[in-house]
Amino acid sequence: MPDIEWIVLYMALGAITGFMAGLLGLGGGGMLVPLLASIFTMQGMSADTAVHLALGTSLACMITSSTASIHAHASQGAIMWRAAGGMIPGIAAGALLAAHAAAKLNPAHIASFFALFMALIALQMFVNWQPEPSKQPITLRGLLTAGIGIGSVSALTAAGGGFLTVAYLSYKNSDIKTAIGTSAAIGFPIAIAGTAGYVISGWSITSSDPYTLGFVYIPAFLAISIASAVSAHYGARCTHRLPEAFLKKALAIISLLLSIKMLVTLI
Cβ-contact 266, 115 below 8 angstroms:
yes
* 12 close to 224: Cβ distance less than 8 angstroms: no
How large is the C-alpha radius of gyration of the chain? 17
Report residue 64's pLDDT band, with 50, 70 and 90 as the boundaries: confident
Domain chopping of the chain, boundaries: 4-266
Residues 90-106 have a mean pLDDT of: 78
Banded pLDDT at 161 (limits 50, 70, 90)? low
Percent of the chain predicted with pLDDT > 90: 7
Cα–Cα dist 199/203, whole Å: 6
Whether the pTM exceeds 0.85: the reply is no
What single letter denotes the amino acid at residue 220?
A: A
For residue 114, what are the CA distances in angstroms to 31, 131, 254? 11, 23, 13
Q: Which helix (H) or strand (E) holds 175?
A: none
Specify the pLDDT at position 120: 73
pLDDT at 25: 56
Q: What is the mean pLDDT of residues 217-239?
A: 83
Which position has the higher pLDDT, 200 or 139?
200
Coarse DSSP helix, strand, coil percentages of the chain, rounded to the nearest 5 percent? 80, 0, 20
Residue pLDDT, tens place only, 117-143: 777 767 766 666 665 656 666 777 878
| Positive or negative: CA dihedral 169, 101, 157, 69 | positive
Q: Cα(90)–Cα(87) distance, rounded to whole angstroms?
A: 6
